[in-house]
Amino acid sequence: MMTAEQYEESLRRLNLVVYMFGKRIMNPVDDPMIRPSMNAVAKTYEMAGRPEFRDIMTAISHLTGKRINRFTHIHQSREDLINKTRMGRLMGAHTACCFQRCVGMDALNALSIVTYDMDAEYGSSYTKRFLKYLAFVQENDLVCDGAMTDPKGDRSLSPSQQPDPDMYLHVAAEKPDGIIVRGAKAHQTGAVNSHEIIVMPTISMREEDRDYAISFALPSDAPGITYIMGRQSCDTRKLEDNPMDVGNRTFGGHEALVVFDDVFVPWDRVFMYREYEFAGSLVEKFASYHRQSYACKTGVGDVLIGASQTIAEYNGAHKASHIKDKIIEMNQLNETLYCGSLSCAAEGHKEPSGTYCVNTLLANVSKQNVTRFPYEIARLAQDIAGGLMVTLPSEADFRSPEIGKWLEKYYQGAPNVSTENRMKILRLIENLTLGTAAVGYLTESMHGAGSPQAQRIMISRQVNMGEKQTYAKNLCGIKDETKP
Ligand code: SF4
Ligand code: FE
């Protein structure tokens, strides 16, 4: 396993083509806008090296028998799935942001199932290819970007019906030694902090879409790949010299648009090639795993609840019954999210490949709650924090020899608490509910791992309605529905 320092050094060896604010970023690792997101991924390495977190953060590879980072592991039991949920919460609590590495783990696990299923159907040899690739990822302790979301163009049209054929990533040409691919993947979490990109289709496909039914892996700096960094609310505060105003000084997440401009993929890295019948299965498996992964938000919720209790104390309001009740409400919502992620793991099952997969219905119910509860938790946090969270002057004013004394005096809360500490915790709540971390805690909770409607469709498909109706009819004595 790599250390956090080795991970950082490994990123420096990549030759990524990254753009931000219209300019090429030659050194993303040290860029002040990107670095906090690198720190968050580096934390997945640091935590794996700490003995107290070993059981949660690491696992034994079923391929080699060696201890590996759990983010590269293929789940071998329900306990593995449960530990994955625990890991997400733990990492969320230690970073208070999206730590990005789950998408690759979820892509590897989904592919371990679907490559096996395709081989069983077609007699192909995808499993062998995939396991060779998996061994490489595990051995080198790599970060993989799990790239699913295509730009999608006109949503009423299928991939092959789009006026611009590149709106879904597709095969542009076939060569003796591999394929040429063209298209893009949008909203790619942690893309610039990744060693590898694992591409998957974004929706179920029909025969006419077969050129779009592809999955493959590439080094993140393969020729023809360009990253265009997404903006986040309040992001340029990271460029100022007022660390207190950032709220979370160390950690953050990032998303990027990844463009594949006629990129070559050798055959040994192609894991699905025009098997359109299995595109939907790959999407469903990845989405279910990633919906479980949203246990991360429970960990971020832990931080926000802790910050809310702290500001209540700093304001001298913590003994008020309505504040106590709001904190209870936040905890109840947050633990409900945890219950959802744990339950889909505990009800997991073994796939024919041997990989353990979460319960699809429960994973979708869990993620549906994630599209709602963090917003309510954030609303309560803002209620408890008070308006000062958004009217607070900058750290520079606080440090000013002329006016700093006024801020010190008038922003004093409880007498035993420094004004500076009160400002720091307010900025953290601002960061989590309105600033850069709100991307991860709120909007990503809404749209990450699929927007709410995607989960509702899955819930309606997975629920056994016939069984429910039978229970009801049996209990009230309905036997024959045909009229005499
Ligand atoms: Fe992982 Fe959560 Fe970020 Fe998704 S949103 S990559 S589950 S930390
Ligand atoms: Fe996500």
Distance, in Å, from the CA atom of 438 to the CA atom of 368, rounded to the nearest integer, reads 18
Q: Is 86 helix (H, G, I), strand (E, B) or coil?
A: helix
Catalytic residue among 212, 273, 276, 294: 294
* Tokens linked to 249: 């000084």
- Cα-Cα-Cα-Cα torsion 108, 110, 115, 118, nearest 10 degrees, comes to -170
- In the residue annotation, 144 being an active-site residue is answered as no
Atom of ligand 1 nearest to the CA of 253: 3
Q: Residue 287: what pLDDT?
A: 97
Residue from 39, 71, 188, 189 to probe ligand 1 pocket by mutation (most atoms less than 8 Å from CB): 189
- Ligand positioned closest to the Cα atom of 251: 1
Q: Residue 477: what pLDDT?
A: 95
Tell me the DSSP string of 31-51: -TTTHHHHHHHHHHHHHHT-G
- In the residue annotation, 290 being an active-site residue is answered as yes
- Our answer on whether the CB atom of 103 is closer than 6 Å to any ligand 1 atom is yes
Catalytic residue among 97, 144, 234, 296: 296
Please name the helix (run of DSSP H) or strand (run of DSSP E) that holds residue 159, with its range, or none: none
CATH class for the domain made up of 292-464: mainly alpha
Across the chain, how many H-helices and E-strands are there? 20, 14
Residue with CA nearest ligand 1 atom 8? 98
Q: Residue 480: what pLDDT?
A: 78
- In the residue annotation, 73 being an active-site residue is answered as no
Residue position matching structure tokens 């990549």: 14
Q: pLDDT digit string (tens) for 363-387?
A: 999 999 999 999 999 999 999 999 9
Distance, in Å, from the CA atom of 449 to the CA atom of 367, rounded to the nearest integer, reads 8
Distance, in Å, from the CA atom of 180 to the CA atom of 173, rounded to the nearest integer, reads 5
Atom of ligand 1 nearest to the CA of 100: 6
- In terms of Cβ atoms closer than 10 Å to its own Cβ (0-12, 13-18, 19+), residue 241 is exposed
Q: pLDDT digit string (tens) for 434-467?
A: 999 999 999 999 999 999 999 999 999 999 999 9
Distance, in Å, from the CA atom of 113 to the CA atom of 95, rounded to the nearest integer, reads 31
* Tokens linked to 18: 């990254």
Distance, in Å, from the CA atom of 80 to the CA atom of 122, rounded to the nearest integer, reads 30
Catalytic residue among 255, 275, 313, 395: 255
Residue with CA nearest ligand 1 atom 6? 100
State the helix-helix crossing angle for 373-385 and 419-433, rounded to 10 degrees. 150
Distance, in Å, from the CA atom of 217 to the CA atom of 146, rounded to the nearest integer, reads 9
Amino acid at 249: R
Q: Where are the domains of the chain?
A: 292-464
**For the chain, which ranges sit under pLDDT 70?**
484
Q: Residue 483: what pLDDT?
A: 74
